[in-house]
Amino acid sequence: MDFELPEEMRMLQDMAHKFAQAEIAPIAEECDKEERYTPEIRKKGAENGLVCAWVPEEYGGSGVGILGNALVTEQVSRVDMGVGLNVVAAGFGCEAIYYFGTEEQKKKYLPPVCRGDQVSAGAYTEPNAGTDVAGYGTRAVKDGSDYIINGSKMFITNGTVCDWMVCQCITNPDAKTHHKFSQTIVPSDTPGITRTKIHGKMGIRASDTAEIFLEDVRVPQENLIGEEGKGFHQLMHFFDITRIMVAAQALGISQGCLDEAVKYSKERTAFGKPLGAFQITMQKLTEMAIRVEALRNLVYKAAWSVDSGHPDFHLGAMAKYYGGQTAVFCANAAVEIHGGYGYIEEYKVQKWYRDAKILELYEGTKEAEIMTIGKVLQSR
């Protein structure tokens, strides 16, 4: 059993970290304050092969697989999760096209995103249905050779900046729940689409998040991804993959919090000794380090299982569940170690504290992960 990353993966990891330090770190605080999306960083990331790094080279990606993409996600999130999302989530929705789309769709839509020329989005969540994906209500009705789409979507990453989105719609309302839905590609400039940026988020404020309304939006039926009625299963597969990436985000921000807490504990003195010399500080740092290392193994193994051709999405759900908890724990501990200074914007940890909470919420709440893991355990 070999726990060492291959040399090419270590090189990718190192390059992603250096990119994040050079390009993301200097602007992270400003982008957080201004809620500013960063297309220039996305473009630079694409030039370095960091956008959709998992996509095979034949479609414009770096071909480093899910593990390689997890390493990239970890390293940019270690520096800043908000701006980092503009790089690693620029291809949200591409998963559906790669795994279920036609060859023509793959060649048309994937390369421009990998190059950084376009941005995609996954238009899934709705105002009244998040974790309850069977409760989505957006409808797509056939009209000649087109679909007419009506509905609304909520909390859509890249919502106001995307060039196209993969939209989850009901196409067979009379079918059983798991066969009602289909996924279709919707260009963002199609008449009838209204996109509104969501302001005032607690964290990841540099990442674009939007509410989207679709009113009599007409798209050709050739934009259908895969077979009609397979959208529910396609969406579950999307979450199986992206939950590993969310766990990698959690790993990155947790490692960043640990790094900053260790650094501060060496510099700060209290009662004539470095803060790190006190047992209570050692305990906090130790618990952080143990959780980070455990999470790292979960993330890497879940990603490796997909690349090896034997995906264990049970592990992915575990990584997502434990990742959110670890990120929140480490961010909280880092703030506590910094004391009053951890509560002011001069120090990174207050921002990471705000960023971390979303990791327990999006791509499936921690409660949803419990249900996923529990069902697998009960089926054995």
Confidence of residue 235 (pLDDT cuts 50, 70, 90): very high
Q: Which H or E run contains 315? A: helix 313-338
- Does domain 120-229 sit in CATH 3.40.50.2020? no
Question: What does the alpha-carbon distance between residue 188 and residue 161 come to, in Å, rounded to a whole number?
Answer: 9
Q: Summarize pLDDT for 240-275 with one digit per residue, the tens.
A: 999 999 999 999 999 999 999 999 999 999 999 999
Beta bridge partners of 140: 149
**pLDDT (tens digit per residue) in 330-360:** 999 999 999 999 999 999 999 999 999 999 9
363 carries an active-site annotation? yes
- 76's CB contacts (< 8 A; 6+ apart) are 16, 19, 20, 24, 45, 50, 83, 84, 87, 88, 252
Q: How many helices (H) and strands (E) does the chain have?
A: 12, 10
pLDDT in tens, 72-90: 999 999 999 999 999 999 9
Contact 350, 342 (CB under 8 A): yes
**Per-residue model confidence (pLDDT) at position 292:** 98
C-alpha of 339 from chain center: 30
% of the chain beyond a pLDDT of 70: 100
Mean of per-residue pLDDT scores for the chain = 96
- Residue 27 has a pLDDT of 98
Q: Where are the domains of the chain?
A: 7-114, 120-229, 233-379
Q: Looking at the DSSP assignment, which residues form a beta bridge with residue 214?
A: 151, 193
pLDDT of residue 260: 98
Q: What span, in angstroms and rounded, lies between the C-alpha atoms of 321 and 298?
A: 11
- CATH entry 1.20.140.10 includes domain 233-379: yes
Evaluated on CA atoms 86, 87, 89, 95, the torsion sign reads positive
pLDDT for position 170: 97
Q: What is the pLDDT of residues 100-131, one digit of tens each?
A: 999 999 999 999 999 999 999 999 999 998 88
Quickly state the pLDDT bin for 4 (edges 50, 70, 90). very high
- Please tell me which residue in 95, 228, 363, 369 is annotated as part of the active site: 363
CB 90 within 8 A of CB 119: yes
**Using 50, 70 and 90 to split pLDDT, how confident is the model at 380?**
confident
The pLDDT of residue 71: 98
Percent of the chain beyond pLDDT 90?
92
pLDDT tens-digit map of 22-55: 999 999 999 999 999 999 999 999 999 999 999 9
Dihedrals phi, psi of 157, to nearest 5 degrees: -65, 135
7-114, what's its fold? Butyryl-Coa Dehydrogenase, subunit A; domain 1 (1.10.540)
pLDDT of res. 125: 96
Three-state DSSP class for 17?
Answer: helix
